[in-house]
Amino acid sequence: MSDELPPPLPPTGTQGEQWTPWERREQLGLVPALVETTGQVLLHPADFFRRMPIAGGLGAPVVYALIVGYLGIFVQALYQAVLNIGLGSALRGFGARSPLGSLGPALQGGAGLLLQMVLGPVFVLVGLFVGAGIYHLILMVIGQAKEGFEATLRVVAYGHAASVLMVLPFCGGLVAVVWWVVIGIVGLSEAHRIGRGSAAVAVLAPIVLACCCCGISLLLVFGGIAGLASHLPR
């Protein structure tokens, strides 16, 4: 991935050109501002983050992240609840079960949906600040944190636009993650005025580290099981 610097900032014009549609929702209307912001982030991330102010308060970006992030969590929880109920119905066809036992999948799916509906905003907020903190720390370590923490958090907040892709059945979660990686790299590059390569390091390093930790954990588990098996009487 090229580490060339993004093009210079375009000259600022009217006030509307210096702010995201979401931060002009009082003029545009709540729903139009939400739709326009999400569309710009998903389809034209470079232009969006090039024009996005790197300061001006965290309230608007955090509220945007809460709305679209919660939407993604709710849709995924709904899909999961339907899947649990569907699997329960399919499994009941392989053997007789009591009428009360058939309520299990429905209750489980409903409980999971209710839990995520209640705790969804907490999940979004924790993920927002923890994720932004990790990215900014990596940028600081590699000497590429050209702007303050607010710039990084704004990128992560508006990057939650990828959450709406979770409405796609079956593959929505995977598509959202992949597109978030693209948005994160472009956004950090434009907000901090650094190359795409440096931004990619900040976004991909936590993913690589998490995969390595999972791989090591699996090796330890399988190694432990193999060790126990070798001591069993034959």
pLDDT above 70 for 209: yes
pLDDT above 90 for 112: no
- 4 domain residue, yes or no: no
Q: What is the pLDDT of residue 147?
A: 93
- 3 and 142 Cβ atoms separated by less than 8 Å: no
Question: How many whole angstroms separate alpha carbon 172 and alpha carbon 167?
Answer: 6
Quote the percentage of the chain above a pLDDT of 90: 52
Average pLDDT of 139-165?
Answer: 94
Identify the CA nearest to 39 among candidates 81, 4, 68, 5. 68
Identify the CA nearest to 208 among candidates 140, 147, 146, 138. 138
Question: How many whole angstroms separate alpha carbon 133 and alpha carbon 170?
Answer: 31
Question: How many whole angstroms separate alpha carbon 165 and alpha carbon 31?
Answer: 18
- 135 domain residue, yes or no: yes
Question: How many whole angstroms separate alpha carbon 229 and alpha carbon 111?
Answer: 38
Select the more confidently predicted residue: 29 or 83.
Answer: 29
Identify the CA nearest to 24 among candidates 53, 50, 65, 45. 53
- 5 domain residue, yes or no: no
Average pLDDT of 102-126?
Answer: 69
pLDDT above 50 for 107: no
Average pLDDT of the chain to the nearest whole number: 81
Whose structure tokens read 């392989």? 94
pLDDT above 50 for 16: no
Whose structure tokens read 């390091």? 201
Q: What is the pLDDT of residues 180-189, one digit of tens each?
A: 999 999 999 9
pLDDT above 80 for 137: yes
pLDDT above 80 for 82: no
Domains held by the chain: number? 1
Structure tokens of 68? 């679209």
pLDDT above 50 for 98: no
pLDDT above 70 for 24: yes
Structure tokens of 120? 């969804």
Average pLDDT of 3-24?
Answer: 58
Structure tokens of 6? 């993004």
- 219 domain residue, yes or no: yes
What is the span of the domain harbouring residue 116? 15-231
Structure tokens of 89? 């119905």
pLDDT band at 40 (very low <50, low <70, confident <90, very high): very high
Lowest mean pLDDT among 23-32, 99-108, 129-138, 205-214: 99-108
pLDDT above 60 for 88: no
- 131 domain residue, yes or no: yes
Q: What is the pLDDT of residue 152?
A: 96
- 53 and 150 Cβ atoms separated by less than 8 Å: no
Whose structure tokens read 């990828």? 162
Q: What is the pLDDT of residue 90?
A: 53
pLDDT band at 87 (very low <50, low <70, confident <90, very high): low
- 8 domain residue, yes or no: no
Structure tokens of 139? 């940028």
Lowest mean pLDDT among 44-58, 70-84, 198-212: 70-84
pTM: 0.76
